[in-house]
Structure 1
Amino acid sequence: MDARYHFVSTYRVVGDPMRVWEVLRDVEGWVQWWRGLERVELLRAPAGAADVGAAHRYTVRAPFGYRFTYETEITAIEPMRFVEAVASGELVGRGRAAVEPFQDDRLTIWFAWLVETPKPWMRALSPLARPVFTWNHHRMMDAFGAGFAGAADVRLVSAEHVALAPGDPGFWVLPEPGR
């Protein structure tokens, strides 16, 4: 049974790009404004000036009430452009967040996650539970967009969430910045 998930959330915002980047980088501050994110712990500080190597643990309470914990480690970063990370724990995979100019003071922010659920019950239920897990993810990312807009003092113009399924074109291929 395939317990792989491919999620892409895209936000269009109007606001200051520097402030957008600051709020995105302040991972430990996300817990203050992202409903459903219960805790963020710094596990390892980055070794140098860039954030590469930083590791965090997240505890999330999904809209349907279950909790899960996962860790991320930043593997690549290009300031004001993108961040890449790998995930481990109750979600395993990799992701990318990107900030791209859209027009004038408008920006596109997108997150792509290619993750697997290693818990046996999640793997066993994935054929039936995929719509529920997808719905949960989309609600969590709606909460991210709303909270982020307030924290970054930007206007959220739109939010779109897409879940590719196994067999869909592009499934399990991480989009590149500037896609």
Structure 2
Amino acid sequence: MRTFRMVTLWRLPAERTAVWEALADVRGWPRWWPGIEAVELLEPGDDAGLGRTARLTVDSGLGYRLTFTVRVTQVDEGRGLTARSIGHLVGTGHVVLADTTFPRGVGTAVTTVWEVALTRWWMRPLVPLGAPVLRRRHDVVMRRGERGLQEQLRRR
């Protein structure tokens, strides 16, 4: 299976602690992240989130949904995590939060790197020609998440 490496950078005008808390509340993602249709928490993990396991359903925007389970395998509380994904997406993701500055104060940069393969039988033959489209759809879903989280953090 061909693996995709997708890198996303979010710049959020909020303190890292607030961003971490919002991201740690995976059941709340559908409230602010368009495209995330459902999150089912399967295992809460420990106090830091290690072992947290959730099943996500994501609308691709192309007429199909992806369902996959993500399990947190490493945590640097407040700074980042590593997770494994199984289901329609199989692979590893890394999320790193870092302090950054904005014209009006502090902010947080969130870098997400996913290396995943698609497992749906009908998608695999399309991967060689469809990779650019799949990457663009990923970027759209992630941009919508960034905007949604910015709004969520503003409301707090």
Contact between 1:3 and 1:122, CA under 8 Å: does it hold in 2? no
Matches within 5 A, 1:16-27: 16-27=15-26
Contact between 2:15 and 2:99, CA under 8 Å: does it hold in 1? no
Aligned residues: 152
CA distance in 2 between partners of 1:61 and 1:84 (Å) = 23
Shift of 1:3: 2.5
CA distance in 1 between partners of 2:88 and 2:107 (Å) = 35
Matched residue, 1:39? 38
Shift of 1:50: 2.1
Matches within 5 A, 1:48-63: 48-63=46-61
CA distance in 2 between partners of 1:102 and 1:14 (Å) = 9
Alignment-mate amino acid for residue 48 of structure 2? A
Matched residue, 2:111? 110
CA distance in 2 between partners of 1:45 and 1:26 (Å) = 10
Poorly superposed stretches of 4+, deviation over 3 Å: none
Provide the secondary structure at the position in 1 that maps to 2:63.
Answer: coil
CA distance in 1 between partners of 2:89 and 2:58 (Å) = 11
Greater Cα shift, 35-44 or 97-106: 97-106
Deviations 1:27-84 (A, max 9, x none): 11001111111000011221x3221111100011111121110000000111110011
Unpaired runs of 5+ in structure 2?
Answer: none
1:77 matched to 2:75? The reply is yes
Unpaired runs of 5+ in structure 1?
Answer: 155-179
Contact between 2:8 and 2:112, CA under 8 Å: does it hold in 1? yes
Higher relative contact order (CA 8 A, sep 6+): 1
Contact between 1:57 and 1:70, CA under 8 Å: does it hold in 2? yes
TM-score by length of 1: 0.80
Contact between 2:70 and 2:86, CA under 8 Å: does it hold in 1? yes
TM-score by length of 2: 0.92
Alignment-mate amino acid for residue 68 of structure 2? Y
Matched residue, 1:140? 141
